[in-house]
C-alpha cells in the first residue's frame, strides 16, 4: 500500500468535511461580517495555489509522462487537447446544463441570507412550495452535487496519478474546504434538515479520495511501463483541465463580479494573495528540480 497517498487521501477527506461545517460554525461567531470577509478572502486566494498546481505540476507532469511513454500520436498534441477538452466539458456541464448557482461567502453577508443561512430561521420563508417546485429544486440539487462530485473525482484522479503528491495535495487542500463550504451555503437555502446536508457533505467529500484510489489502482494494474506512463499522463492532463476551470471560472471570475465586492480593500487583497500564491507555487518547481539533482548525484 502507498501509505503516503493514503495519508493525503484521508487528510483531503477531512479538510472537505471541515470546510463544509464552516457555514454552521459561523453561527457561533459574534462578528459574522468579519468572519465571512476573512473566509472569502482566503477562499479566493487559494485559486493561486490551485492554478499553479494545475499548470506547473499537474499539466507539466502529464505532458512529460506522455512524452516519456514513447507514444507520439503522429505529432498531435494529445495532452494539450485533453487539457482543453476537459475544460470545455466541465464548462458545458457546470454552466450550460446546471443552473448557475455558485457564489462566494460574501453572498451570506446580507440581511436576508443571514436569516436563512446563518440562523436557519424557518419563518423567513413565506411562500408555499408545490410538488412540482419541490421536484425541480431536488433535481437542481442532485445535478449540482453530481457536477461538483465530477470535479472532485478528477482532482483525486490527478492526485493518484501524480509521481509527487505533495504539491498536488496542497493545491487541492487549499481549495477543497472552500468548495465544500460554498456548496453547503447554497444547499442551506434549499434544505432545512441538517442531517441531509451532512449526508450530502460526506458523499461529496468522498469523491476526491475515490478518484485518487481509482487512479492509483488503474496505473498499478498496468504491467507495460510505456502504457502506464501514457495513462498517468492522460489522467494528469485531464485533471489539469479541471484545475484550470475551477481556478479561473469558478473562483477568480466570480470573485471579482460586482456583487461579490462589497469592500474595495478585500478586492485587492484577494487578487494580491492569489497572485503571490501562484508565484510561490511556480517556485516549488525549482525546489523539486534541486531535490531531483541531489538524489541523482547521491
The overall pTM is greater than 0.85: no
Give the C-alpha separation, 110 to 218, whole Å: 47
Residue 136: predicted pLDDT = 65
| pLDDT greater than 60 at residue 9 | yes
Give the C-alpha separation, 148 to 152, whole Å: 6
Say how far residue 155 (Cα) sits from the centre of its chain.
7
Residue 179: predicted pLDDT = 81
What percentage of the chain carries pLDDT values higher than 90? 36
Can you tell me the mean pLDDT for 1-9? 89
**Extents of the domains making up the chain:** 3-287
Can you tell me the mean pLDDT for 261-269? 85
Tens-digit pLDDT profile for residues 124-134 = 444 455 666 66
CA angle 40, 193, 145 (to 5 degrees): 55
| pLDDT greater than 80 at residue 71 | yes
CA angle 113, 116, 120 (to 5 degrees): 145
165, 167, 172, 199, 266 from 220: Cα distances, Å: 16, 21, 22, 31, 46
Tens-digit pLDDT profile for residues 187-201 = 877 787 888 889 989
Tens-digit pLDDT profile for residues 226-255 = 999 999 999 999 999 999 998 998 888 888
Residue 244: predicted pLDDT = 93
Q: Is 256 helix (H, G, I), strand (E, B) or coil?
A: coil
Residue 278: predicted pLDDT = 95
pLDDT band for position 96 (50/70/90)? confident
CA angle 161, 166, 168 (to 5 degrees): 55
Find out whether 16 and 204 touch, Cβ atoms under 8 Å: yes
Give the C-alpha separation, 275 to 49, whole Å: 9
Amino acid at each position: 500500500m502507498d501509505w503516503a497517498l493514503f495519508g493525503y487521501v484521508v487528510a483531503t477527506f477531512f479538510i472537505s468535511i471541515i470546510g463544509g461545517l464552516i457555514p454552521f460554525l459561523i453561527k457561533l461567531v459574534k462578528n459574522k461580517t468579519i468572519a465571512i470577509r476573512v473566509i472569502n478572502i482566503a477562499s479566493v486566494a487559494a485559486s493561486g495555489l490551485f492554478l499553479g498546481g494545475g499548470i506547473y505540476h499537474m499539466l507539466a507532469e502529464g505532458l512529460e509522462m506522455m512524452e516519456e511513454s514513447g507514444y507520439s500520436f503522429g505529432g498531435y498534441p494529445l495532452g494539450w487537447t485533453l487539457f482543453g477538452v476537459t475544460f470545455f466539458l466541465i464548462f458545458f456541464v457546470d454552466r450550460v446544463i446546471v443552473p448557475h448557482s455558485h457564489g462566494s461567502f460574501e453572498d451570506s453577508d446580507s440581511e436576508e441570507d443571514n436569516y436563512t443561512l446563518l440562523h436557519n430561521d424557518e419563518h423567513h420563508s413565506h411562500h408555499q412550495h408545490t410538488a412540482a417546485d419541490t421536484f425541480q429544486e431536488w433535481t437542481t440539487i442532485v445535478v449540482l452535487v453530481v457536477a461538483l462530485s465530477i470535479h472532485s473525482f478528477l482532482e483525486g484522479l490527478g492526485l493518484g496519478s501524480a509521481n509527487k503528491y505533495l504539491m498536488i495535495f496542497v493545491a487541492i487542500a487549499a481549495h477543497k474546504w472552500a468548495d465544500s463550504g460554498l456548496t453547503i451555503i447554497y444547499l442551506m437555502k434549499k434544505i432545512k434538515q441538517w442531517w441531509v446536508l451532512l449526508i450530502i457533505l460526506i458523499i461529496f467529500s468522498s469523491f476526491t479520495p475515490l478518484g485518487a484510489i481509482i487512479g492509483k489502482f488503474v496505473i498499478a494494474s498496468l504491467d507495460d511501463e510505456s502504457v502506464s506512463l501514457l495513462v498517468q499522463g492522460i489522467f494528469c492532463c485531464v485533471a489539469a483541465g479541471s484545475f484550470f476551470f475551477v481556478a479561473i471560472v469558478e473562483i477568480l471570475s466570480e470573485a471579482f463580479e460586482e456583487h461579490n465586492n462589497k469592500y474595495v480593500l478585500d478586492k485587492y487583497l484577494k487578487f494580491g494573495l492569489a497572485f503571490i500564491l501562484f508565484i510561490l507555487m511556480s517556485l516549488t518547481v525549482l525546489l523539486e528540480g534541486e531535490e531531483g539533482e541531489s538524489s541523482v548525484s547521491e
